[in-house]
C-alpha cells in the first residue's frame, strides 16, 4: 500500500509539464537502441523533429527495427559515413517459413532507401506450399514448413517445374551467403543455412543528406527537420535554421540544460512526504 503510494506521488510531482525543453536540447540527446543511432533516424522518445520523415526506428528490447514498405527489418549495422544500414527481415528471422500467413516480397521505399551500390547482395526466391515429386525429394534447396514443402532458388529457374500453391517471395542475402546456399546441401541442413543467410542481412543506403547534418553538428547545432520534410539545424538559442548555427552566437548564449524544478519547494516536500509515509 505504502510502496505503491510514494511512486504515484513522485510521478504526479515530476510529471507536471512545468518545463519546456528546447528542440536543441531534445535533439542533442544521443539516441541509443542497442547501438547509437544517427540522424536521420528518430523514434521511441526522439521526435521526428530530430530526424527526417520516414526514418522511424522502433526500439524493441534494444533491437532497432524499421518498417519499410510494410515489412519490419532488424537493423544490424549503421554506418553514418556511407549512409548505409545492414538490415534483415524480422518476419523471416527465426523461421524462413514466415511467422504469419504469406510472406511479402522484399521491396524498398525508393524515396527513402536504395540498394547500396555496387551491391554485395543477391536476390534469392522462396517458393512455398509445394508438392514434392519423388524426383525432387532430395533436392538440396528443399525445406520444410510445417509439413508443406518449400524451395529456395539462388538463380532464376523455371518455377513452372514445381507444383506450388503458396506464394513466391524475393529476399536478399549477401554474396557469401548466396554462395554457400548454392553449395551442395542436404535437405536437413538447408533450412538452417537459409535462416543464417537471412540473418546476415543486406545493405541499403538512405537518401537523407547527412552532409547537411555534419555541417550542422560542426556548428554545434542539432540536426532535425521542420514540420514538413525540410532539413533544419536546431541552435542553442532556440531557433532553427536551414543550414548552420553561427558558432559565435552559439557559444555565448547558454540556456538552462534541464527543466528547472523549484528545488526549494520540492526537496522539503519530498522529505516531509517520506516522513509522513515511513513514520
Ligand X SMILES: *[C@@H]1O[C@H](CO)[C@@H](O)[C@H](O)[C@H]1NC(C)=O
Distance in Å, CB of 76 to ligand X, minimum: 8
Q: Does 213 bind ligand X (CB under 6 A)?
A: yes
Tell me which residue has its CB nearest to ligand X: 200
Neighbours of 34 (CB within 10 A): 14
Chain position carrying cell 554506418: 79
CA dist 185 and 192 (Å) reads 11
Judged by CB, which is closer to ligand X: 6, or 244? 244
Binding to ligand X, residues 30-49 (CB under 6 A): 38-39
Options 10-18, 93-101, 192-200, 267-275: segment touching ligand X (CB under 6 A): 192-200
Distance in Å, CB of 115 to ligand X, minimum: 5
| Distance in Å from the first CA to the final CA of the chain | 14
Can you tell me which of 143, 172, 206, 231 binds ligand X, judged by CB under 6 A?
Answer: 172
CA 187 to chain centre: 33
Q: Does 114 bind ligand X (CB under 6 A)?
A: no
Contact assessment for residue 152 and residue 181, using Cβ atoms and an 8 Å cutoff: yes
Chain position carrying cell 540473418: 199
Eight-state DSSP code of residue 69? T
Contact assessment for residue 112 and residue 55, using Cβ atoms and an 8 Å cutoff: yes
CA 194 to chain centre: 22
CA 234 to chain centre: 24
Can you tell me which of 59, 63, 72, 145 binds ligand X, judged by CB under 6 A?
Answer: 72
Distance in Å, CB of 255 to ligand X, minimum: 6
Q: Does 112 bind ligand X (CB under 6 A)?
A: no
Binding stretches for ligand X (CB under 6 A)? 20, 22, 38-39, 67, 70, 72, 80, 86, 104-105, 115, 119, 121-123, 167-170, 172, 174, 176-177, 196-197, 200, 210, 213-214, 217, 235, 237-239, 241, 245-246, 248-250, 255
Amino acid at each position: 500500500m505504502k510502496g505503491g503510494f510514494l511512486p504515484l506521488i513522485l510521478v504526479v510531482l515530476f510529471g507536471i509539464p512545468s518545463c519546456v525543453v528546447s528542440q536543441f536540447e531534445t535533439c542533442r540527446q544521443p539516441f541509443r537502441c542497442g547501438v547509437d543511432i544517427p540522424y536521420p533516424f528518430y523514434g521511441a522518445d526522439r521526435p521526428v523533429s530530430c530526424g527526417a520523415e520516414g526514418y522511424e526506428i522502433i526500439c524493441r528490447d534494444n533491437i532497432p527495427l524499421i518498417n519499410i514498405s510494410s515489412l519490419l527489418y532488424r537493423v544490424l549495422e549503421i554506418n553514418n559515413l556511407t549512409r548505409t544500414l545492414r538490415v534483415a527481415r524480422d518476419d523471416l528471422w527465426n523461421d524462413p517459413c514466415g511467422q504469419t500467413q504469406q510472406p511479402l516480397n522484399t521491396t524498398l521505399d525508393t524515396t527513402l532507401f536504395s540498394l547500396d551500390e555496387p551491391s554485395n547482395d543477391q536476390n534469392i526466391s522462396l517458393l512455398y506450399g509445394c508438392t514434392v515429386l519423388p524426383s525432387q525429394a532430395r533436392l538440396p534447396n528443399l525445406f520444410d514448413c510445417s509439413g508443406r514443402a518449400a524451395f529456395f532458388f539462388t538463380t532464376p529457374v523455371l518455377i513452372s517445374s514445381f507444383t506450388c500453391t503458396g506464394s513466391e517471395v524475393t529476399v536478399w542475402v549477401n554474396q557469401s551467403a548466396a554462395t554457400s546456399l548454392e553449395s551442395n546441401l542436404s535437405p536437413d541442413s538447408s533450412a538452417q543455412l537459409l535462416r543464417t543467410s537471412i540473418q546476415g542481412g543486406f545493405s541499403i543506403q538512405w537518401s537523407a543528406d547527412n552532409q547537411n547534418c555534419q555541417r550542422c553538428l560542426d556548428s554545434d547545432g542539432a540536426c532535425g527537420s521542420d514540420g514538413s520534410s525540410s532539413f533544419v539545424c536546431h541552435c542553442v538559442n532556440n531557433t532553427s535554421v536551414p543550414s548552420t548555427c553561427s558558432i559565435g552566437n552559439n557559444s555565448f548564449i547558454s540556456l538552462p540544460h534541464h527543466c528547472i524544478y523549484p528545488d526549494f519547494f520540492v526537496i522539503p516536500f519530498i522529505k516531509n512526504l517520506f516522513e509522513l509515509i515511513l513514520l
